[in-house]
Structure 1
Amino acid sequence: MDQVIPILIALLLVVIAWKVLTGIVKTVALVVILALAAAFVFGGLGA
């Protein structure tokens, strides 16, 4: 259950970034958001 919260936060951030950002900034933001979420869920951060 602890892994659901970061995934939901990442999903929310992805939606916000998708609506607000454009171009390469959007791409970089999406990659960073997803990488941080994956690192947190799979134990790279905070474990």
Structure 2
Amino acid sequence: IIEEFDKISDDFSDDINTTKQTIKDLFLDIEGSFEDTSDDVVKL
């Protein structure tokens, strides 16, 4: 039973790390597109 629990918690923490990375990438993308947008606005 304990081994199963360890496996589940390992999988769970992997999922959390993957999710954190995805969110971080998403924020970087959003930040980047905001910078692009503000550059375009400045050009106008």
TM-score (norm 2): 0.46
The structure whose RCO (Cα within 8 Å, separation 6+) is larger is 1
TM-score (norm 1): 0.43
Structure with more helix by fraction = 2
